[in-house]
Structure 1
């Protein structure tokens, strides 16, 4: 083969895997990974083995998308059995860690006298000795935290279980839902047994912009452990991707990148919020911003909270080679339901800084401010969440993501400090899943049905969103983070119609804004807004 210069094909998609399952933030920290290996992965796979016909039927029902049903065929039952057996060996430490966490819960929460807890240290399960701190709150209730940074340096953090999977969208048509089914090698995918910090990750994705020779490609790939019917040569082409990026010469440019994502640019800085860049099929109805629309350097990535559609490992790894710094909300440390985003991303090779509420990060002609974020986490004590305020050239933008508004006084206080917002973006996933959809595997006792139904992952509805618009005196409103784009079905699972409560509530806000003379839009597909510098 001649030594040609090659680019990564535009329709190549990437799935980071942990123990053959799609990697999302709660599969990275050792404690939460252990609970999911046992209470999600193993449980669902055993259910498939015992009731595969039910799983096959359920996986064909659109209304059950996102449910715990493997999307596998009858002839794959033996493959899933083999995966369960493999897990018993490769994840033995994590399985024991999961059991130890259950025992730890029982030990600590049975201490109800309010007296000293020091005697409990001697009773800590052997696998957790030295990895936990036990404490009392001001009401004399016992609790504990993991020393999370130490766990990342222990045998329980397993980058050897990480791997990389690649597909070409034109070959598969549509990506299947990623969270409910392990990824097995097949004819349409290439699996590479390398962890997420491997240099091959940056080499592959950098070739979207800077071509790589066929000789270098062969040198990079030939020593790797690979499987599947797709070859590494199928990922590359001599055709240069169509580069659509146009630099900003003045003012502030906002580009909606899909779901809860925005690219905010000035002539001096480029900032991305919650990037989830989907690989598009030519048949998809929406025009979307893709990787070729992005600048050569991203100065900041801002992440709002730990849910996988906001901290998207799939997208973050594809951007890593061009990102200077990631800003994340500060973490209290050690709670299994609230793992540190900072620690997680540092394992992946990112330069990360934590910020506290109302912390200001200046840049040329502007600043970034982390804003308090309420709700959307099932009433759990989740500290790792923040909305973002960006000001540049006198223009002010608020990106609330999935922030709820159970206490309008918060935004009245904030508006007194940051008044007259030019652009307010708010998610309105007002009827979210029961909180156990994300956090259920972390519990060590069964959660009653009434609690599941009451505590949901809800964002703002109309009654909560409208006071935000009024308090900030917003000049323009965007509703986003509803996953309306077809290309996001692979992680959203569901598709809304005009009668869905999320759409009904969003329309109420659009109508109210229209009556108030405020331009408002429900974002779907590509949208770019340019704001000129504000003069006094």
Structure 2
């Protein structure tokens, strides 16, 4: 038996799965998971079984990238049919929970008298009894909140539905879009029947830095059922990465890691914002900062909002073993559309701290401040969103992610508090998807086409972003979080051309920044920025 040391390959990629589907933040909380399982997963799979030829044709059309077409072959129709049968047979409690949410919505919607709602408790559907509080707002409209911590401790939180999927980039042409296609254990993947907190998870990912003796590899994976054509050994190599971490000796270093991700470091502090880290393959070898180049210890991960390209479970689980603390924005306290990020990540064994607007966290050589975040959530009352102000060694950075600016007065006020910012990063996803793309499964009534088209997941355009630059007195500006990198297409579902409004507005914004003598750049792939002490 070989006794050499094995490192996780750079080209190995990981997908966390929930009931065979890619796990994103709304598949962890029980209530939202139930709604998506019934109203998205089951519906798409049944559509594929009934009309698989349409799906097969549709996924070949780039204009339909990100649409609800399942990306499987004709030979996999029976496999998908079995997944539907398995969902119906094994997930009955979650199906009942989804139905109960609809019944409860109808109950509170029909209460219009403005009189006491106490009688409604007796009518709450059985699966939700004891898990909700019903209340009235100041205009006498009835509503309810979910008692989320209790739901996580109920039979509705199903860690048994979690599993791990691994692949190797050189063996696949592309990764199917995560919101439309379940993951099957085919010849190019290894699926391990372990939940996200199983010891095997941290053991595998720490092997990028702390290799596993080859004769111990079977022990690491021992006891877990597995399926698929890859072996454990296929995921590992006996060669160290050619792209090691380089420490910071002086000043502040910013490294753009793709999409909305940044690493911000001083000699004493290491911070990641919205990490979505790519595996390194032949096609992107020199264009990405991958896991091997990240700090050996991460002091803070800062998350801006709960969309899957910012709270990326795939990446977070791979960083858990070396992350000291995660900072997340507060939520609304039990509304269906705004589940708690603190509860979600605590369930996954992260050390999580929740922060409110303008709350400060002190660092050895600076501070972190959560900054109000407007827009990009389809006008829903979602509080769990924040931009981040980071001050290290006297250098000031603002990471706005997908913040929009419908009211310039907010940034006029903020600019008085956070003046003379050295680096401002802002997203320009000014034409986002209809909000139902993410939240549609949570609705219990049909949403009109007019509402879908009007309420979109829009970030800033040039007219909204430029006042932010002026209000903060920014010295350097970077556009990011557009999903331009093709290796993120599997979860972004986006393709642009030069006429796309996002690209047109970005170019307009860059020119406007240059007109006012501010350095500006649109980021792609990787970028290192040094701010001298």
TM-score where L is the length of structure 1: 0.98
- TM-superposed CA distance for 1:99, in Å, is 0.5
1: CA distance, partners of 2:250 / 2:380: 43
Aligned to 1:264: 264
- TM-superposed CA distance for 1:64, in Å, is 0.5
Aligned to 2:118: 118
Moved more, 173-182 or 45-54: 173-182
2: CA distance, partners of 1:329 / 1:119: 35
SS of structure 2 residue aligned to 1:176: coil
Aligned to 1:88: 88
Aligned to 2:487: 487
SS of structure 2 residue aligned to 1:217: helix
2: CA distance, partners of 1:9 / 1:195: 22
1: CA distance, partners of 2:425 / 2:346: 29
2: CA distance, partners of 1:444 / 1:299: 41
Aligned to 2:184: 184
- TM-superposed CA distance for 1:312, in Å, is 0.1
Moved more, 284-293 or 28-37: 284-293
- TM-superposed CA distance for 1:6, in Å, is 0.7
2: CA distance, partners of 1:250 / 1:280: 28
1: CA distance, partners of 2:267 / 2:273: 18
SS of structure 1 residue aligned to 2:185: coil
Aligned to 1:376: 376
Aligned to 2:17: 17
2: CA distance, partners of 1:281 / 1:217: 23
Aligned to 1:426: 426
Aligned to 2:302: 302
SS of structure 1 residue aligned to 2:56: helix
Aligned to 1:447: 447
2: CA distance, partners of 1:324 / 1:332: 25
Aligned to 2:293: 293
Q: Deviations for 1:420-451, whole angstroms, at most 9, x for unmatched residues?
A: 11111000000000000000000000001100
- Asked if 1 retains the 8 angstrom alpha-carbon contact of 2:65 and 2:495, the reply is no
Aligned to 1:101: 101
Q: Deviations for 1:54-96, whole angstroms, at most 9, x for unmatched residues?
A: 1111111111011111111112111111111100122110001
Q: Deviations for 1:121-169, whole angstroms, at most 9, x for unmatched residues?
A: 1111011000000011011100001000100000000000000000000
Q: How does 1:364-403 map to 2 (within 5 A)?
A: 364-403=364-403
Moved more, 483-492 or 282-291: 282-291
Aligned to 1:43: 43
2: CA distance, partners of 1:236 / 1:395: 40
- Asked if 2 retains the 8 angstrom alpha-carbon contact of 1:461 and 1:505, the reply is yes
- Asked if 2 retains the 8 angstrom alpha-carbon contact of 1:111 and 1:142, the reply is yes
1: CA distance, partners of 2:338 / 2:244: 38
Q: Deviations for 1:331-375, whole angstroms, at most 9, x for unmatched residues?
A: 121111000001000111100000000000010120000000000
2: CA distance, partners of 1:283 / 1:395: 35
1: CA distance, partners of 2:440 / 2:283: 37
Aligned to 2:476: 476
- TM-superposed CA distance for 1:279, in Å, is 1.4
Q: How does 1:49-60 map to 2 (within 5 A)?
A: 49-60=49-60
- TM-superposed CA distance for 1:285, in Å, is 7.8
2: CA distance, partners of 1:401 / 1:426: 5
Deviating runs (4+, > 3 A) in structure 1? none
Segments of structure 1 that go 5 or more residues without pairing to the other structure are none
Q: Does 1:526 align with 2:526?
A: yes
Q: How does 1:355-366 map to 2 (within 5 A)?
A: 355-366=355-366
1: CA distance, partners of 2:301 / 2:333: 22
SS of structure 2 residue aligned to 1:178: coil
Q: Does 1:235 align with 2:218?
A: no
2: CA distance, partners of 1:348 / 1:242: 31
2: CA distance, partners of 1:485 / 1:401: 16
- Asked if 1 retains the 8 angstrom alpha-carbon contact of 2:10 and 2:281, the reply is no
Q: Deviations for 1:185-232, whole angstroms, at most 9, x for unmatched residues?
A: 100000000000011000000000111111221112232100001011
How many matched pairs?
533
- TM-superposed CA distance for 1:176, in Å, is 2.4
Q: Deviations for 1:245-281, whole angstroms, at most 9, x for unmatched residues?
A: 2111111111101100100001111000000001132
TM-score where L is the length of structure 2: 0.99
Aligned to 2:151: 151
1: CA distance, partners of 2:400 / 2:68: 30
SS of structure 2 residue aligned to 1:163: strand
2: CA distance, partners of 1:432 / 1:276: 19
Q: Deviations for 1:276-322, whole angstroms, at most 9, x for unmatched residues?
A: 00113212386111111111000000000000000000000000000
- TM-superposed CA distance for 1:35, in Å, is 0.4
